[in-house]
Chain A
Amino acid sequence: GAVVSQHPSRVICKSGTSVKIECRSLDFQATTMFWYRQFPKQSLMLMATSNEGSKATYEQGVEKDKFLINHASLTLSTLTVTSAHPEDSSFYICSARDRDRVINEQFFGPGTRLTVL
């Protein structure tokens, strides 16, 4: 149980285009989902926290208009990188908290490798 999927696993796009990444909790309901970014040899950097049905809470320094997050249902959150630039190239990982579990734990997706040419 507690499986989180991400789609696509890898995407290459041209500079200036927008890319949407989906994060799904497959066998549980996630009231809260998190989006992280990981640079090579660096830690996971939390970008934003999204709660189902409400606006995402962005971390300091993360541009809301560039990284659009939607959490429309208890099993799906999307991250759209708008007008992507080469510096947006990174490994994006989502995670979700199981609404029905007591323990403080988040389950991670497999990540999406974004390359902007």
Chain B
Amino acid sequence: DQQVKQNSPSLSVQEGRISILNCDYTNSMFDYFLWYKKYPAEGPTFLISISSIKDKNEDGRFTVFLNKSAKHLSLHIVPSQPGDSAVYFCAVNTGNQFYFGTGTSLTVIP
């Protein structure tokens, strides 16, 4: 039973435009939400997170939005850069339980 879903396996965006990555989760008890970026043959690196008491968190070009009623999480990257090309995983957390989505492969076209 998949706790976290990323329905778009891939996304292509022109450099300078906005990239929007989406994530849906099933359990309203999760209290922390995270985005990770992963390059091939490397471990994921933490990007940005948000707690369940907020609906938006911004860090430079990255903004995460949380819609608790819809159980939906999104990551906005603006402006997108070629170096942003990677696989992005969303993750949900409560206690020591982490669940990851299947990832979205983002390609930023120069």
A residues with CB within 8 A of B: 4, 6, 32, 34, 41-44, 46, 49, 91, 93, 95, 97, 103-111, 113
In the complex, residue of chain A having the shortest beta-carbon distance to the beta carbon of B5: A43
Asked if B42 and A110 make an inter-chain contact with CB atoms under 8 angstroms apart, the answer reads yes
0/1 string, B80-96, CB within 8 A of A gives 1: 00000000010001001
Greatest chain B CB density within 10 A among A41, A43, A93, A111 is at A43
The A-B contact count (CB < 8 A) is 48
Interface of B is mostly: strand
Using a Cβ–Cβ cut-off of 8 Å, how many residues does chain B contribute to the interface with A?
22
Most buried by B among A34, A104, A111: A104
Q: Specify which of B44, B49, B103 is in contact with A103 (CB 8 Å cutoff).
A: B49
Listed by A's residue number, 10 A-B pairs whose Cβ atoms lie within 8 Å are A32-B96, A43-B103, A44-B44, A44-B89, A93-B44, A95-B43, A104-B49, A105-B49, A111-B42, A111-B43
B100 touches A43 (CB 8 A): yes
Query: Which residues of B line the A interface, CB within 8 A?
Result: 9, 31-32, 34, 36, 41-46, 49, 51, 89, 93, 96, 98-103
Residues on A with beta carbons closer than 8 Å to the beta carbon of B89: 43-44
Min CB distance B32 to A, Å, is 4
A98 and B86 alpha carbons, distance in the complex (Å): 25
- Chain A nearest CB: distance from B46 CB in Å? 6
